[in-house]
Structure 1
Amino acid sequence: MSSQSNPNSISPSEKHNSRRNFLQNGIASTAATAATLSVSSRLAADDQLAVHTSESTPSDSREPIRMALIGCGGRGTGALNDSMSINDNVKLVALADLKLQKCENTRRAMSGRHGAKVDVADNKMYEGLDAYKRILEDPDVDLVLLTTSPGFRPYHIAEAVDAGKHVFAEKPTCVDPAGFRICLAAHDRAVANGTAIVTGTQYRRQTNYVQAVEQIRSGAIGDIVSATTRYCSNSIWFKNRQPGMSELDYQLDNWMHFIWLSGDQITEQAVHNIDTLNWIMGSPPETAYGSGGRFTRPETSEMWDSMSIDYQYPGDRILSFMCRQIPRTKGDNGSVIYGTEATMHIAAMSGGSRIVDRKGNEVWSAKGSISDAYRQEHKDLVDSIVTGKPIVELKDTAESSLTAVMGRLAAYTGQRVTWDFVTEKSKLNLFPKNLDADSFPPSSGHAIPGQTPLV
């Protein structure tokens, strides 16, 4: 939803800073009390929870955190619902999307679910590529949820930080090395500004994932030798070109299928599992080498069907990674970490974690709920804002996003790609130099190893 812009073009207003200080000082005691509540006791089915939160909103006269959503698709509306379901002290005040109809749909759905927590006037709904700017310029917005297609994410994050906003940013946070560097700079500015950035890597807040990492770090499986992770599913959505649609509008509408917007499956989707392994290993990998291809994608799609990457982490530990989206194939989603004493299995979604010893006996297990984790990331974010101790976690998510990019580059080019190259030397910047609908160029096609250069 943005063309590239000067990251210093927007500065926080005095009015916004005054409001932020008021919120932190005035609501801190309420947040401290709320933080002692059990998360599980606050969660129920979505409709039941919506009734509970709308009826039990505190009567405290102090102002709630005022939120705005930028990107009113399914993931954005889901993130918004998660935040309003778990947090009593929030209010939705503005919406932005490429299409005004999506803003209206989101307002209607959230009003029906959360009642008085939704207060979006007609003139606080914005459409178009620059719609996000209207929200960042609004001094009454405290927190922005950034859920547009990923290609815009680094630029939106950077401008939101410079506007003095707290941020929830969906994953991935970048699709190329240029975006990664923007994220690192934004992370540092957010720390200096005292503004929060929480990202949509919910597994880092899912109980069975957290417990599995604790088990590994306590030595429960011995030393890590190697690991596998898979994100293999069937197919992904695709939208046919509509009559009279410009090339730009077609690509924006089909954003998953264009690499400048999605980063391909490995970056947009499988980054969850890559982030889990970076977390477990304690750092990004040193190298990536892999391959893949395409067999079933629509002709105009730039995506591949599958990728297989060997990531080498410090200590000569190899992660065998695979992602795939091919109809009528067997799915597999999760990670296995092989240790010198035992093996840790971590299933994706709500599949739980378990340790199996060398004799095949299960010696430890933990359950987890992904829906709880989706909400917990929003509770942690809001709590950090109102207590004046903002969480800033952009760097880790940017590193995981770039790890996915590194694997994609290895597969696309057929070369071994190093972490030093993608962080220090790569000049790759996929974001278009202009987003003019009348002159936007058509796609140059999908990558071909041996022909696609490593830039």
Structure 2
Amino acid sequence: MPIEDASDHSTVQPAKSHTDRRNFLCSTAAASTFAAMTVPSMVHSEEATKKQTINLGIVGCGGRGSGAINDSLSINEGIKLVAAADLYADKNERLKSTLTRRHPEKIALEENKMYTGLDGYKKVLEDPDVDVVLLTTSPGFRPYHILEAVEAGKHVFAEKPSCVDPAGYQICLKAHELAEKNGTSIVTGTQYRRQVNYVGAVDKIRSGMIGDIVSATSRYCSTGIWYKNRTEGMSDTEYQLNNWMHFIWLSGDQITEQAVHNIDTMNWVMGSAPISAYGSGGRFTRPDDSEMWDNMEIDYMYPGDRNLSFMCRQVPGTRGDNSNVIYGTEANCHIGAGSTGSRIVDRNGKELWSMKGSIADAYKQEHKDLIDAVRSNQPIVELKQTAESSLTAVMGRMAAYTGQLVSWDFASKESTLDLFPKELAWDGKRPAGEYAIPGKTKLV
């Protein structure tokens, strides 16, 4: 599957494969056919809770995937990795080699269960030995993989963001509803919701320590991001999959792929998605064929006339800032990214409360919660909240790209924006990168 730290794979070719949108969009009839061919999802869930060992499969074995599976293996006992899929065979082999050194007793990954190509993920989902699947490919595939995993009766860990367009959001809602019906879990990679200083800050805000929320600011500003050059022999599809960050159908741009962490935090603090988004931004340092912008500045309006001033930026040589400030009638709450910690100060600058937290612990906690939920047969299904945060990011991108005011109702109910290719062949052609221009790019 698409990988997080793609490198030059021109000498290692995956199995040729072809897929189209019909393989991802499963109608009720298709879902019924799939269920008839496999173990019913509820039965699969109940059987998993009785097993002494819970078996994991992973789809996407790059940097993000290897980090996620390592976190799960590090914090959980009684689990084994038994299946893996990636676009490239060497990614599977590298993952197996690294994890075998770190967790030799937890790796049972045989050669015949390491799959390649665009359709390799299907083999993991069809494997009756797999109880939990980790979905860590580039984000454009996420909603379709999640839905198919739920239909296959798997418990799911899905990295953020959960969608990059309104069409993917609707698929996530279907998957969330089906998982609740099936009794299977979906835990998402929004680790801040499990980081103690974030939880503590939200609890203090809820208890009234800062008074009523008036407004907020949030920034995810950093230097540049990686870019992968095209190598000889790469098709358009292979090149875009390897350089996925720079193509919006795969990444959703920085605001969706990266800054969604801060947006998710603010939706959590505010207690809902925003009502509208209005913003701007631009590009001046990206490579010529990149579709990404360098920066976006979005005003999100939340219920209660509460405004979030949001900014994200990736420009080399600039000052970084990754922080959230919530302004209340009585005090302000500062929530820093990473392991910076949280604090509340009154109008005179006196500290009223503070708490430290470890992002490394939070990364592991999300995987512990998932395995605990499987073992206790008490499913956690949190896809909807992450899908709402992902769509909030998408809504901001839509507003900036078009120069229009975009409402939540439009983005969540009316928009027909669907970025995923109607057909996708490994050796196929893809349109060249084209970046958005406000006033020219239309709101769809």
What's the TM-score, normalizing by structure 2? 0.93
C-alpha contact 1:434 1:440 (8 A) present in aligned 2: no
C-alpha contact 2:228 2:243 (8 A) present in aligned 1: yes
Q: CA deviation at 1:19?
A: 5.2
Residue from 142, 156, 159 that aligns with 1:167? 156
C-alpha contact 1:16 1:139 (8 A) present in aligned 2: no
Offset from partner CA, 1:41-92 (integer Å, 9 cap, x none): xxxxxxxxxxxxxxxxxxxxx5311000100010110000000111002100
Give the letter for the 1:300 counterpart. Answer: D
- Secondary structure at the aligned position of 2:103 is classed as helix
* Residue 322 (1) aligns with residue 311 (2): yes
> Who is 2:182 aligned against?
193
User: Superposition pairs for residues 117-266 of structure 1, below 5 Å?
Assistant: 117-266=106-255
C-alpha contact 1:198 1:394 (8 A) present in aligned 2: yes
C-alpha contact 1:336 1:345 (8 A) present in aligned 2: yes
Q: CA deviation at 1:233?
A: 0.2
User: Superposition pairs for residues 357-396 of structure 1, below 5 Å?
Assistant: 357-396=346-385
Give the letter for the 1:191 counterpart. Answer: E
CA distance in 1, matches of 2:70, 2:253: 27
CA distance in 2, matches of 1:68, 1:281: 35
> Who is 1:75 aligned against?
64
CA distance in 1, matches of 2:70, 2:273: 32
C-alpha contact 2:41 2:151 (8 A) present in aligned 1: no
Q: CA deviation at 1:16?
A: 7.1
CA distance in 1, matches of 2:185, 2:244: 28
Unaligned runs of 5+ in 1: 27-61
- Secondary structure at the aligned position of 2:101 is classed as helix
Q: CA deviation at 1:181?
A: 0.1
- Secondary structure at the aligned position of 2:424 is classed as coil
- Secondary structure at the aligned position of 2:323 is classed as strand
CA distance in 2, matches of 1:201, 1:163: 24
Offset from partner CA, 1:173-230 (integer Å, 9 cap, x none): 0000000000001000000001100000000000000000000000000000000000
Q: CA deviation at 1:10?
A: 2.7
From the superposition, tell whether residues 275 and 16 of structure 1 become closer, same or farther in structure 2 (CA, over 3 Å). Answer: closer
What's the TM-score, normalizing by structure 1? 0.90
Count of matched residue pairs: 419
Identity %: 65
CA distance in 2, matches of 1:89, 1:406: 41
> Who is 1:294 aligned against?
283
> Who is 1:334 aligned against?
323
> Who is 2:14 aligned against?
none
CA distance in 2, matches of 1:442, 1:357: 53
From the superposition, tell whether residues 397 and 387 of structure 1 become closer, same or farther in structure 2 (CA, over 3 Å). Answer: same
Give the letter for the 1:448 counterpart. Answer: I
C-alpha contact 1:347 1:353 (8 A) present in aligned 2: yes
> Who is 2:35 aligned against?
11
C-alpha contact 2:238 2:427 (8 A) present in aligned 1: no
CA distance in 1, matches of 2:56, 2:417: 34
C-alpha contact 2:45 2:183 (8 A) present in aligned 1: no
> Who is 2:8 aligned against?
none
Please provide the CA RMSD for this pair: 1.2
> Who is 2:395 aligned against?
406
> Who is 1:91 aligned against?
80
CA distance in 1, matches of 2:416, 2:207: 40
> Who is 1:397 aligned against?
386
- Secondary structure at the aligned position of 1:435 is classed as strand
C-alpha contact 2:41 2:182 (8 A) present in aligned 1: no
CA distance in 1, matches of 2:441, 2:224: 25
* Residue 428 (1) aligns with residue 417 (2): yes
C-alpha contact 2:342 2:355 (8 A) present in aligned 1: yes
From the superposition, tell whether residues 269 and 308 of structure 1 become closer, same or farther in structure 2 (CA, over 3 Å). Answer: same
CA distance in 1, matches of 2:43, 2:395: 42
Give the letter for the 2:375 counterpart. Answer: V
CA distance in 1, matches of 2:291, 2:344: 39
Residue from 89, 94, 115 that aligns with 2:104? 115
> Who is 1:35 aligned against?
none
From the superposition, tell whether residues 19 and 423 of structure 1 become closer, same or farther in structure 2 (CA, over 3 Å). Answer: closer
C-alpha contact 1:15 1:139 (8 A) present in aligned 2: no
Q: CA deviation at 1:15?
A: 7.8
CA distance in 2, matches of 1:358, 1:232: 26
Unaligned runs of 5+ in 2: 2-18
CA distance in 1, matches of 2:431, 2:442: 19
- Secondary structure at the aligned position of 2:388 is classed as helix
CA distance in 1, matches of 2:381, 2:426: 36
Offset from partner CA, 1:229-277 (integer Å, 9 cap, x none): 0000001000111012111111000000000000000000000000000
CA distance in 2, matches of 1:104, 1:17: 33
C-alpha contact 1:16 1:140 (8 A) present in aligned 2: no
Give the letter for the 2:46 counterpart. Answer: N
C-alpha contact 1:69 1:144 (8 A) present in aligned 2: yes
CA distance in 1, matches of 2:422, 2:400: 26
> Who is 2:46 aligned against?
21
